[in-house]
Chain A
Amino acid sequence: MTADRESRSTGEGTETQISLFGGSPEEAEAGARATNGPGADAADPAERPAGTETTEASGPSWGASPDRSAETPGPDRTPTSPELPGPPGSSRQSPVSVSALNAAARRILEESFPSLWVVGEVANWRRVSSGHCYFSLRDEEAQISCVLWRSDARRLPTDPEEGMEVLGFGEVSLYEARGSYQLIVRKLEARGEGLWRLAFERLKRKLAAEGLLEEARKRPLPRVPLRVGVVTSRTGAALRDVITVVRRRAPWTELLVSDCRVQGEEAAGEIVRALDRLVRDGRVEVIVVTRGGGSVEDLWCFNEEAVARAVAACPVPVISAVGHEIDVTITDLVADVRAPTPSAAGELVVPDGRVLRADLRKLGDRLVSGLRQRTVRGEERARRAADRLLGGMDRRLERLAGRLEGLGGRLDALSPLGTLRRGYAVPLAGDGRVLRRLADFRQGDRFRLRVVDGRVACTVEGTETMTEEETGG
């Protein structure tokens, strides 16, 4: 970019062939206006007439006259014949016009200086409505007026601040309409990344003031997205990284690529459109906006306002992964989640399939164990209820109940009446006392048997002793 700028500008210095001896004053004036631009309302340089390359070896100068070096024009040397006026300006009879003087001075300046880099501080920066920028470069002792045409100014990430030290590359020239000497700047850079940093901070402040960077705006990502959108260059390494990682972790995931350039002047617009396509399509549940590493300039599109706003307005959560870990862009700040690299975005956007399937298995296991615990608890509840119901049941009966629990998992164990429902009955004397031992029964005694749904009137027909083994200890 710089190279073609520089070569173009070396041609421009001589584009308008103004000869003090040949061209009419009107031509010279028109050429001067068109080339130099009259100031705030200057035409875009692109509209300037195409340069006609001059091959004149000596270049335009006062020195068209071969004897000028030997002679100093003066009154005493003024040619006396009006037919022979001598070199322009050398006599009252052949004065030069101001236009011609300025044109010649401009030509000398332009031809004497190559395109060059100038360092200085920016002063009185003005960007006028036409897009051209006017300012001065200065140091402690001197200053020079500068102009940066719209087509070159467009490449600036942002306007420099007053007093900022910058490097300007361009050509020395002269603005003929005012006779002022100036630098036509083609490229303007701050020392280091100053201008990029400044542009970044300015946009960051602006978006922050609108609340677009707030944590509260960040949306959670879907845990298991089945369809993921990727906004990036279809040929980039970043896309390959994302695909590789997503395939490895969650091979079921469908990826929908929305292609765009990710560097250069067209990139911002293409990124916005690529995002918009995915939004209109409406199928993806999360979008990864990514590109691999590069220079600050390469990554710049991700610091452009249009991209930041499109990401902020995206109805689907966005993961931003631009450049390497150290590169933080405005898009990263606006996105719901920032990943340090494209591969990391792949890791963040989908879960690890092995973990996910293991989690599903674990949930299945817990489902089973939950049900099992539930039935155990049910038995405990039944036992407590039975205790209450049956009052002073002795330890032996409790042990019996304990054994019931051991039967485990029986549905009827869960009811407080489960014990009775299973067929156990409790003999009660007339006064409600539990008849526990053989000795409590005598032939002919009447007692009641408490069963699950009522009482049974009974009479003892006879009794029979059992051994310890038979009673179960």
Chain B
Amino acid sequence: MAEEPSRTSEFEAALEELERIVARLDREELSLDEALEMFETGVSHLRTASRLLDDARGVVEELIENASGELATVDFDLPAGEAADGDGGD
């Protein structure tokens, strides 16, 4: 459906790769070269995942459709909002 790979799938792919690498490092008998290579790949996945979270905009938008059936995304403001004050998470 989506033409481009979503950032979510990018995030989840990074997370899954990372978990896979950690499991292999734990379990498998690898040559040191292999282990080092995996470590480096793992670190890069970790960076990717963190960056995706940091880059996401965290906005609320509304999807509307005009008379000719075209979709548009517009800013959405909560009608009466104590809800909009996200505290920035952790």
Cβ contact within 8 Å between B1 and A252? no
Cβ contact within 8 Å between B8 and A226? yes
B39 / chain A contacts, CB cutoff of 8 Å: 367-368, 370-371
Return the CB mask of B42-64 against A: 1 if under 8 Å, else 0.
11001001101111111111111
Interface segment, one of A92-100, A124-132, A239-247, A385-393: A239-247
CA distance A254 to B75 in the complex (A): 11
A258 at the interface (CB under 8 A from B): yes
Q: A243-B78, A280-B71, A367-B25 are contacts. A256–B61 as well, Cβ < 8 Å?
A: yes
CA distance A249 to B87 in the complex (A): 9
A222 at the interface (CB under 8 A from B): yes
**Interface contact tally, CB-CB below 8 A:** 160
Cβ contact within 8 Å between A256 and B58? no
Cβ contact within 8 Å between A363 and B76? no
CB distance from B35 to the nearest CB of A (A): 4
Cβ contact within 8 Å between A234 and B79? yes
CB distance from A16 to the nearest CB of B (A): 44
A360 at the interface (CB under 8 A from B): yes
B32 / chain A contacts, CB cutoff of 8 Å: 374-375, 378, 411, 414
A285 at the interface (CB under 8 A from B): yes
B84 at the interface (CB under 8 A from A): yes
Return the CB mask of A262-295 against B: 1 if under 8 Å, else 0.
0000000000010001111111010000000000
B57 / chain A contacts, CB cutoff of 8 Å: 252, 254
A373 / chain B contacts, CB cutoff of 8 Å: 25-26
CB distance from A351 to the nearest CB of B (A): 10
Q: What number of B residues sit within 8 Å (CB to CB) of A?
A: 57
Cβ contact within 8 Å between A363 and B2? no
Cβ contact within 8 Å between A367 and B90? no
Cβ contact within 8 Å between B18 and A363? yes
Looking at chain B's contact residues, is the secondary structure mostly helix, strand, loop, or mixed? mixed
**B29 to A, closest residue via Cβ:** A377
Q: A222-B8, A257-B76, A285-B8 are contacts. A248–B61 as well, Cβ < 8 Å?
A: no
B7 / chain A contacts, CB cutoff of 8 Å: 226-227
Q: What number of A residues sit within 8 Å (CB to CB) of B?
A: 58
Q: A234-B79, A257-B61 are contacts. A226–B89 as well, Cβ < 8 Å?
A: no
Cβ contact within 8 Å between A247 and B83? yes
CB distance from B53 to the nearest CB of A (A): 5
A250 at the interface (CB under 8 A from B): yes
**A276 to B, closest residue via Cβ:** B65
**B59 to A, closest residue via Cβ:** A254
CA distance A107 to B24 in the complex (A): 90
A254 / chain B contacts, CB cutoff of 8 Å: 56-61
A226 / chain B contacts, CB cutoff of 8 Å: 6-8, 11, 52, 56
CA distance A278 to B90 in the complex (A): 30
Besides A251-B88, A367-B39, A414-B31, 15 other CB < 8 A contacts? A222-B8, A226-B11, A244-B82, A252-B53, A257-B60, A257-B76, A259-B64, A282-B1, A285-B8, A363-B15, A363-B22, A364-B43, A370-B39, A371-B39, A375-B35
Which B residues are within 8 Å of any A CB, using their own CB? 1-3, 6-9, 11-12, 15, 18-19, 21-22, 25-26, 29-32, 35-36, 39, 42-43, 46, 49-50, 52-65, 71, 73, 76, 78-79, 81-90
Which A residues are within 8 Å of any B CB, using their own CB? 222-227, 229, 234-235, 239-241, 243-244, 247-259, 273, 277-283, 285, 315-316, 353-354, 356-357, 360, 363-364, 366-368, 370-371, 373-375, 377-378, 381, 411, 414
Name 5 A/B residue pairs within 8 A (Cβ), A-sorted: A234-B62, A252-B54, A253-B58, A282-B1, A366-B22
